[in-house]
Amino acid sequence: MKVSWDSEGEAHIASRSVRYGGTHNLEVGWVDEAAADPLALMEDPDPRSAPDVVRITGASESAGYAITLIGSDAKTVCGD
C-alpha cells in the first residue's frame, strides 16, 4: 500500500514526541515501509475510530519496530 502524504501530515508524524511524551518521532519512509509490509494488517473501518477511518499496522525494517498508521479513509491513506 502506498501512503499519500501532504506537508501537514509529514510534520505531524515528525513531531509525535511533542504530543506524546516518551514516544518516537516517525519518518515518512518508515511509515511507508510499514504500510507496504506484505503482512500488514488493515482494519477498515478502524474499530476504535469513526466509520471513515482506517488503521494499518505493519513492520518497518528501517525503524526496527511495527508502526500503526491511522488515516481518514483507505482511499486517502493508500492513495488509490
Residues 28, 49: Cα–Cα separation, whole Å: 23
CB proximity list for 51: less than 8 A, separation 6 or greater:
45
Residues 29, 24: Cα–Cα separation, whole Å: 14
Instruction: Output the tens digit of pLDDT for each of the chain's 80 residues.
Output: 778 888 988 999 999 999 999 999 999 999 999 999 999 999 988 888 888 888 999 999 999 999 998 887 555 555 44
Q: Which helix (H) or strand (E) holds 28?
A: helix 28-36
pLDDT at residue 79 in the model:
46
pLDDT at residue 6 in the model:
87
Q: What is the reported pTM? A: 0.80
pLDDT at residue 76 in the model:
52
